[in-house]
């Protein structure tokens, strides 16, 4: 397997940061939402982005 270049690593780092921010936003939305359906949707989206984050980390290992 080829090594990751500095440019690629910077891209992955930016992507991970983006996923972290999205996770935080959806969790915040879920906490403040009063509509049960919308709250569940936000929680689901936070979970999906957590899975994306974990998948990216696993690829880097």
Cβ–Cβ < 8 Å for 19, 49: yes
Digit-coded pLDDT (tens) for 26-51: 999 999 999 999 999 999 999 999 99
End-to-end CA distance of the chain: 12
The span from the CA of 23 to the CA of 15, in Å, is 12
Indicate the SS3 state at residue 3: coil
What does pTM read for this prediction?
0.87
pLDDT of residue 2: 77
């Amino acid at each position: 397997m080829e090594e990751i270049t500095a440019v690629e690593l910077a891209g992955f780092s930016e992507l991970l940061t983006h996923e972290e921010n999205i996770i935080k936003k959806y969790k915040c939305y879920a906490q403040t939402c009063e509509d049960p359906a919308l709250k569940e949707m936000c929680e689901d989206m936070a979970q999906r982005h957590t899975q994306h984050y974990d998948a990216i980390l696993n690829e880097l290992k």
